[in-house]
Homo-oligomer: A and B are copies of this chain.
């Protein structure tokens, strides 16, 4: 990945609020780099569950094949995280989400990254054409 410019909130289509936890901070007193991916994972799955296109029992599950993040400025407990979400690419079986991490009321992203899901059959774990309801929900986030 080349060095990106931080996005602003206007670059995203949907926002999910996530509370930080005391143990998110590491010895450097900021949210540890690992936890940002938990915010990505949560925003993406919560969006799909709220849209009714993913349940804990879905025949079609979404497996992660690639993730990445660039960190611009720290966040720290007890900051509130606002995750901006958008869809940058929507293929036959896969989707590339892009996520911006906004700290409290800030308009410029503290971090941003991507998250690639492949839609798979729960039992065989083989790729599956994305169900149309899922595709419709994801189209709403497309940029």
Contact = CB atoms under 8 A, between A and B. Distances in A.
Interface of A: 1, 17-23, 25-29, 32-35, 37-39, 41-42, 45-46, 49-50, 56, 61, 63-71, 74, 76-78, 125
Contacts of A21: 18, 38-39, 41-42
Contacts of A61: 28
B71 A69 contact: no
B71 A64 contact: yes
A45 B22 contact: yes
The 10 residue pairs across chains A and B that have the minimum distance between CB atoms: A68-B68, A33-B64, A34-B37, A21-B42, A22-B45, A23-B32, A22-B41, A34-B38, A22-B42, A19-B19
B34 A77 contact: no
A115 to B, nearest CB: 8
